[in-house]
Structure 1
């Protein structure tokens, strides 16, 4: 009986991990759309999600080999589930925004181009985004080709 419990527990852990991955993916997408976190954080989180995404097929295959229905884990959400997930993601995004605001006061500001920690960074005068803060004129000029597209959206 003990041998039957371990695979069930492992299957539950895998299912929970896959569900958490999907929720994290949604929360990261929401944070990107609403620009709730600094660009450097989004880049770091995106890298971690890319690594997790590479592990996803093997986790799904392992779950399937354990006898769990793979269709169950990728079944489309019902309207109620979708609304609950959206509310959960918005709550997580709000918490992430609050954490970012609190951490922003604690972290040294960094140049949006070279990444050096600096005091008194200059922000883009047009959009005033914190990601568009530069330690020097040279960094601002070097970052302009990429930033001008983001700046126009603001």
Structure 2
């Protein structure tokens, strides 16, 4: 019995040792579990923060896409307006060129008409000048004859006197 008692005490000591080892392991695992739980909570909080940031980023991304779409639409409208303005400007430039050419043509036409009129009047002017020359000659001749008569008459009256 004593032997059995020693065996039981030895087993009891072994069991106590096992129990102590199990308790140490349990405490270690509990600490590890608490640390893991704490880390999990931190990771969970970080995940929540990241989820919120991701939502914000997605919202910003949507807003940016909407703004980009609006800007693209505005740019297309401005480009279309610019293209239309360019066409209008080119048309106005073409009209101006046509008007300038028309005014030049009118000026040339007026000059040619004046020249043609001048050429038509040229013969009439020549004839008019000839007629005036003839009249001037006749008047000169008539005046010369009157002067000669006056001179003759004066010289004849001088003789009688």
Larger relative helix fraction: 2
Q: What TM-score, normalized by structure 1, do the two folds share?
A: 0.24
TM-score after normalising by structure 2: 0.23
Structure 1 or 2, whichever has the larger Rg, is: 2
